[in-house]
Amino acid sequence: MTATLEVRDLRTHFFTRAGIVKAVDGVSFTVERGKVLGLVGESGSGKSVTGFSIIGLVDPPGRVTGGQILFKGRDLASASEEEMRRLRGNRIAMIFQDPMMTLNPVLRVDTQMIETVQAHQKVDRETARQRARDTLGMVGIPSPDERLKSYPHQFSGGMRQRVAIAIALLHKPDLIIADEPTTALDVTIQGQILAEVQKLAAQTGTSLIWITHDLSVVAGLADDVAVMYAGRVVEDGPVSQVLDAPLHPYTVGLIGSVPSRNKRGEKLRQIPGMTPSLLSLPPGCAFQSRCARADAACRQDPDLFALREGQRARCFHPHLEAIPA
């Protein structure tokens, strides 16, 4: 059976005045039907751009310059705008980071939901409204009939994100790209929404790409994880393996900076330094300026080496030894 999504060597570059920003530069991953892929990395590593490339909404001056985006076998990188429109919100949905900004402030929630139903199906308003109401109920919004008539500003941030999730679920898509959907929310609501989405995705057989900079979120949610750094995947594999026995020094650093994984009293170990400018990446491994293991070999470009069963890392000196507990 073909995977829901197979991204092969995706390249998305921004042609700015200052030069070419290679925001996504040769990213590959696969999402099987009903599975959850965690896409992890620091801010600026190219996660969102990867998501927007998949649904064909990269803002100018950016564009997909290479690679394939195989959605159920069909390459979206070469699809027409109309074909993409028919897929968006229908077979592939996206949830954005900031729920305060994703709903149109001057349109009622029912308008914003009904238009989504009618963009893809010839149904009358009333049928569309009922579908909207049922979906709102499904994502845990109380008295959905009344809430449909509300405007976005009458909802809390968490409730707005539930509305956005409901909109994403309207057509029971094959794939949902969730771009840090809980980052802007407080912790208890994060947990609720996480559990809710996981449940709904499992019920409908929807595949998920869950973008986050927080590895602890991925732990309980994803099947597989891909770690991104400077526009590339630097490590991928099954979530338990990557989290328990990370290979790439960057992944090790990320895990060290997750509060819940640290013992009490122990200092959080931030990765030193900052993401390098994508405009002027030095030759070789993009992580070398921040890496404790860097040596002369790292001035070459490392490949994504398959180092363990199903687990790969883009590094010449991976953490193959067991990490002390």
Partner 1 sequence: MTVYLLRRILQSFMVLVAMSIIVFVGVYAVGDPVEILISPDADQLERERAIRALGLDLPLWEQYLVFVQRALQGDLGRSFVFNEPALQIILQRMPATLELAFGSMFLSILIGLPLGLYAGLKPDSVASKTIMAGSILGFSLPTFWVGLMLIMVFAVQLGWLPSTGRGETATLFGLQWSFLTANGLAHILMPAFNLALFKISLVIRLTRAGVRETMLMDYVKFARAKGLSQNRVIFVHVFKNILIPVVTVVGLELGSTIAFSVVTESVFAWPGMGKLIIDSINVLDRPVIVAYLMIIVLMFIVINLVVDILYSVLDPRVRLEAKA
Interface residue list for ligand SF4 (CB under 6 A):
248-249, 285, 287-288, 291, 293-294, 298, 302, 315-317
The answer to whether the beta carbons of residues 216 and 261 sit under 8 Å apart is yes
Among ligand SF4, Mg ion, ligand ADP, none, partner that 62 touches (CB below 5 to 8 angstroms by kind): ligand ADP
Q: Among ligand SF4, partner 1, Mg ion, none, what binds residue 320 when CB lies within 5 to 8 Å by partner kind?
A: none
Residue closer to partner 1 (CB basis): 115 or 223: 115
Is residue 120 at the binding interface for partner 1, with CB under 8 A as the rule? Answer: yes
- Edge to edge, the sheet with strand 224-229 lists 92-95, 175-179, 207-212, 36-40, 224-229, 232-238, 311-313, 305-308
- Asked if 275 touches Mg ion (CB under 5 A), the answer is no
- Out of 19, 20, 43, 146, point to the residue binding ligand ADP (CB under 6 A): 43
Q: Does 181 bind partner 1 (CB under 8 A)?
A: no
- The rounded radius of gyration (Å) of the Cα atoms in the chain is 20
Quote the CA–CA distance of 75 and 66 in Å, as a whole number.
12
Q: Is 49 in the site for ligand ADP (CB under 6 A)?
A: yes
Longest dimension (CA), the chain: 67
Inter-CA distances, 23 with 9, 50, 84, 91, Å: 13, 8, 22, 25
Kindly state the smallest distance separating residue 45's Cβ from ligand ADP, in Å: 4
Dihedral pair phi/psi, residue 103, rounded to 5°: -100, 145
Nearer to partner 1, 81 or 321 (CB): 81
Q: Which does 98 bind (CB under 5 to 8 A by kind): ligand SF4, ligand ADP, partner 1, none?
A: partner 1
Other Cβ atoms closer than 10 A to 24 = 32
Is position 53 an interface residue for ligand ADP (rule: CB under 6 A)?
A: no
Per CB under 8 A, the list member of 119, 123, 189, 258 interacting with partner 1 is 119
**Residue 312 or residue 317: which is nearer to ligand SF4 going by CB?**
317
- Identity of residue 136: L
Length of the chain, please?
A: 325
Question: What phi-psi label fits residue 56: left (phi over 0), alpha (psi between -120 and 50 degrees) or beta?
Answer: left
Q: Identify residue 5 by its one-letter amino acid code.
A: L
Which residues between 99 and 118 bind partner 1 (CB under 8 A)? 101-108, 112, 115-116
Residues that bind partner 1 (CB under 8 A): 55, 57, 59, 85-90, 93-94, 96, 98, 101-108, 112, 115-116, 119-120, 151, 153-154, 164, 167
